[in-house]
Every structure is written in structure tokens, then in C-alpha cells.
Structure 1
Amino acid sequence: MQKKHLYLLLLIAGTAFWGISFTFVKVGIGAGSPFVFLFYKFLIAAFCLAFVFFRQLKLISVKTLKITFLIGVPLLAGTVLQTIGLQYTTVSNAAFITGLDVLLIPILKFLIYKKKIENKIWIACILALIGLYIIVVKDGLSLNSGDVLIVACAFGFAFYVLQVGKYATEENPIPAVILLMLFCAFGCLILALFDEASVWLPNTNGFWRGVLFAAIPATAFMYAVQNVGRRYLGEEKVALTYLFEPVFATIAGVFILGEDFTYQVLAGGLLIISAMFISEINFKKNPSKN
């Protein structure tokens, strides 16, 4: 099997872990502090990556520290907003709305770097906004507070992807990923210290199971595959694998948590996935000649 095919399969597996982790996180945080949960998640992920890639730790430099800070701030913001939002909205809502970051990326590129937005992006954005409206707007023009936080988290993740793309030419991304996990762990530790709901050794069902699942397959594995796989896969294919995340999240939410999966969520979700698909397909690409 060629490496590009192997990493494509690994990325799809990683998006499955991402999607399923929404359910584990929602159960894990319960009514407690999301910051404690995230602190353990990032800390365990950092140690796992450091153990596997121990020899690459010597490659850490001042430049690595700078890159870690620049990509760590938006990732930390996006993750914190998403985790808090999960306390107040459903897994399927959170997953589909988070997927909007795929559409926000080209728009932010236009606003920040003045890069032209293709017509397909405008079409995709219209479809996604309609899908978002169908999913989250209830009782007129009111939004669930959790859904609002998830929309904000999508902006955080979009900025994170832009920053990662800016430094994607680095030859050894793993040292930066390890430091990234430690940076996020430290940030969550600081937030947890100021949270009155923080319990450092929770004895609640699902907390530690949720931490381990979110830390190892959904974070350590996925971030390692994501960064190494970029050497063998184009950005277009990588982005398209993210289409699987809300699908796996919704399935997990229905079968594990017993969440309702209404026609409203189905219709809105399909529109958002269609928008993501349209935004990543290269319609101008010439078909290969025989």
C-alpha cells in the first residue's frame, strides 16, 4: 500500500476518533469544570507523543517555541469554547457547527491576507448558513448559548488552521506538536485554578474514560497523523476527510447518549456537509486524458 493511501485511511480513522470523542467529552465534563478535563487531556497527549517521538525532542529550538505559541493560542481558544459549548448543546449540533471552520478559512484568508474568494466559497457559505439556521435556530431567532459558543470555537479552529498552514513547510512538525499539547495543557491549568467548579480527582462515571479517549486516539494519534500525513496528501484531500467527523459524532451521540436525531438536524447537517464538500472540490481541474 502506498504511503498516501495509508495516511488517507489513518486520517479517516482519526476523524472517526474526533467525532466519537464529542460523546466522551460531553459525558466526561458533566456538570464539572471543563478546564480540568482539558488539562488532563492535553497533558496525557503530550506525554504519549513525547514517549513515541522521544528522539525528536532534541530538535526543539527557539523557533519551535515561537511557532508553538502562534498556533497554540487559537487552538486553545477553540478547544475551550467547544468544550464549554458541549455542556449546553447536543453532540450533533456541536459537530456540524464546528465543521463551519472549513468555510471560515478562505474567508479569513481574504480578510487577513487579501486572497481572492472563489465563487464556489460564496455558494458554500450560503448553503452552510442555511444549514446552520435549520439546526440551531429555534423559537424564532433565538440561539442556544451552547451553539453560540460552538460558532465562536469554529473561528478559533479556523485561525489555528491558518497558522498551521503558515508554518507547514517546517521539516519536523512533531516537536512543535508536542510543545503545542503542553502549551494547551498549561493554559487549561491556569483556567482551572480560577474555576470554583474544579475538582482535580473527579470520582464521576465517565471522566477518566473520556479523558483517555480524548487524549490518546482523538488528540495524540490524530495530531501526529495530521501533521506527518501532510507530506503525502494534498490539502484538498486532508480537508475532505474532515467531512466524516460530524457523521461519526452524530452516530455516537444517537447510539451512546440516546440523543434525538430529527429531520431538522439531518437536513441542516446535509447542507453543511454539502457546503464543505463544494468548498474543497477543484471544479476547474482538467480530467485526466487516456
Structure 2
Amino acid sequence: MNQTKDTTGVRSAKLLMISLVVARGMSFMFSKTLLFNMGPFSLLGIRFLLAFLLLFAFFYKRVLAELQKDPKILFAGLALGAAYFICMSCELVGLQYTSSSTCAFLENSAIAMVPILEALLTHKAPSIRIILSCFMTCIGIAMITLNGGIRSFGLGEFLCCIAAFAFACAIILNDRCTKKHDAFSIGILHVGFIGLAALLVAFAFETPHLPETGTQWMMLLMLTLICTCLGFTLQPVAQRKISAQTTGILFGLNPLTAAVCGWIFLREAMTPLGIAGGILIVIGIIATNAFPEP
């Protein structure tokens, strides 16, 4: 009975994580449009702080109760927020020096980094299933994003590699923190830390301003409500019952979602190679979810 309940809980957590990854994958479409009129750190700061204020307004009693009962949860949220802020900052700056396709591929190489880092931390090699799933997912991402290949390796590529490492660390931190602290409170706190850090950088290097048109506000609200309030806040909740390695593989849906949204809404090209890459990502994800969670 308990085993059936655990299996059902793991399956539900995986389905929740898939929906969150898809929601976050949609953010590329909205961000790409908003960045024509807003600085990257201004957009990041406003997006995450607005999400934090909305979430805190509804759930402040729970967050404050958890902080009083478990003060260390504040440091867990700070560590997770710092990892994601480094990841997203390096991604945004790296995009100024390299193509978006190269950035997408290098950043999502975190999928392969997670099982390696986990193996180093736990002194236990990942299963063959995880290794094969990581390999197929990474090849699929390469097929979607690298039609022209990586022509050189410079500052932009280096920053994207740092983003990938920070992303992998964030996934592992999520795994560790949610085993010890309230996952939902961590989700809210780390969103606030990302927004505060981004806005401080924006005031230092940009001229922050709010969206100017109704369409821009609608896109910002979509980024805030769907991609941030749901996509970021509920990741710790979903990750409580699944491993960091599986989470990393599920994030292979992120560039696939971005590519599909770009094809449907932004009229971006979807090549046969990209379609094949998307199929390979789905196969890799199915392969890692075909058996009970290790």
C-alpha cells in the first residue's frame, strides 16, 4: 500500500515538474519581446520581485511561520536564489557575445553535469539508464539549437558554461534543501532573492523602467504568473520526490518548449533536424521515467 502511494506520489511529482519546465520554457518567447524595450536585469528584477510580492501577499503566514520554526530556511532560499541568479545573469550577459542557439545548448549541458556532480558528492555512479537518457537528451538539444555549430569559444561561450554549472548546482541544491526544509516556502523565498539581486544590479548598470504598453504589461504578467509564480516557486515542491538526475533530464523540455513556441508564435524556423532533436528529447525523458524512481 505504501509502495503504491509512493509510486503515485513520484509520478505526480514528475508530471508537475514537466508542466513547470514547459511553463518556464515559454518565458523565452515573452522575454525576447520585452528585451527590445527593457534592460535584461530590469526585466529580471521586476519579474521576480512582482512574483514574490504576489506570492507573499497570499502565503505570508505560512512563510513567516516556517521562518520562526526553522530559521535556516532563509539561508536555503538565499543559496538557491544565488545559484539561479548567477545562472540567469551569465545567460543574459553571455547572449550579448554569442548566439542564442549556442547559449541554449551550453546552458542546458547542465543536464549532463547533474549526474556527474551527484556522483562526486555521493561517491555513487549514476545508473546506465540515467547516463543513456542524459546522452539522448543532450544530443536532442544539440540538434534543436546547433544547426550552425559552435564557430568559436570566447567570452560568451565561457559565461554560458558558468550558467550551466550554476544551473546544475541549483538543481542539486533544490534536491538537498527540499529534504530538510519546507519546499513551498523555499520556492517563495528564492524568487524574492533573485528579484532583489537583479534589481540592485539593474540600478547599478541600467535605467530601470516599467513596461510602457498594454501588450508589454500582458507579457510581463504572463512571465510573472505562469513562468515565475508557477515555474520557479513550485519546482522545490515537485523535486521533493524525484532525484536531481531525473530533474535535470526533464529540463530537456525547456529548449524544446522554447523552440515550439518560437515556431508557433514568433514564426521562427523549425528544421527537420530540430524536429528529430525534439523526438530524441522526448525519448530520453520517457526512458528515464519508464521505471520507478531510483
TM superposition score category, shorter chain reference: 0.7 to 0.9
User: Is 1:156 equivalent to 2:166 in the alignment?
Assistant: yes
Aligned equivalents of 2:114 and 2:131: distance in 1?
12
How many Å apart are 1:74 and its aligned residue?
1.1
Given that 1:102 and 1:276 are in contact with CA atoms closer than 8 Å, whether structure 2 keeps it comes out as no
User: Is 1:167 equivalent to 2:180 in the alignment?
Assistant: no
Aligned positions, number: 281
Partner of 1:226: 235
Given that 2:38 and 2:208 are in contact with CA atoms closer than 8 Å, whether structure 1 keeps it comes out as yes
Aligned equivalents of 1:85 and 1:56: distance in 2?
38
Given that 1:11 and 1:226 are in contact with CA atoms closer than 8 Å, whether structure 2 keeps it comes out as yes
Given that 1:124 and 1:275 are in contact with CA atoms closer than 8 Å, whether structure 2 keeps it comes out as yes
1:247 partner amino acid: L
Partner of 1:14: 20
Given that 2:110 and 2:248 are in contact with CA atoms closer than 8 Å, whether structure 1 keeps it comes out as no
Gaps of 5+ in 1: 286-290
Aligned equivalents of 1:137 and 1:247: distance in 2?
14
User: Is 1:38 equivalent to 2:47 in the alignment?
Assistant: no
How many Å apart are 1:179 and its aligned residue?
1.9
Given that 2:138 and 2:252 are in contact with CA atoms closer than 8 Å, whether structure 1 keeps it comes out as no
**206-215 vs 142-151, which moves further:** 142-151
Q: TM-score, normalised by structure 2?
A: 0.77
Aligned equivalents of 1:277 and 1:86: distance in 2?
31
How many Å apart are 1:70 and its aligned residue?
1.9
User: Is 1:216 equivalent to 2:222 in the alignment?
Assistant: no
Correspondent of 1:257 among 237, 255, 266: 266
Partner of 1:288: none
Aligned equivalents of 1:6 and 1:124: distance in 2?
20
User: Are the structure 2 counterparts of residues 258 and 85 from structure 1 closer, same or farther at C-alpha, using a change threshold of 3 Å?
Assistant: farther
Correspondent of 1:63 among 49, 68, 72: 72
| Deviation by residue 1:103-137 (Cα, 9 ceiling, x = unmatched) | 32111122344332333444445445544554326
| Deviation by residue 1:77-119 (Cα, 9 ceiling, x = unmatched) | 11223344566645x7766665443332111122344332333
Q: Percent identity?
A: 24
How many Å apart are 1:45 and its aligned residue?
1.2
Aligned equivalents of 1:125 and 1:84: distance in 2?
27
What are the equivalent positions in structure 2 for 1:83-122 lying under 5 Å apart?
Answer: 83-84=92-93, 89-90=99-100, 98-122=107-131
**81-90 vs 48-57, which moves further:** 81-90
2:75 partner amino acid: K
Q: TM-score, normalised by structure 1?
A: 0.77
Partner of 1:177: 187
Correspondent of 2:204 among 186, 194, 198: 194
Given that 2:73 and 2:186 are in contact with CA atoms closer than 8 Å, whether structure 1 keeps it comes out as yes
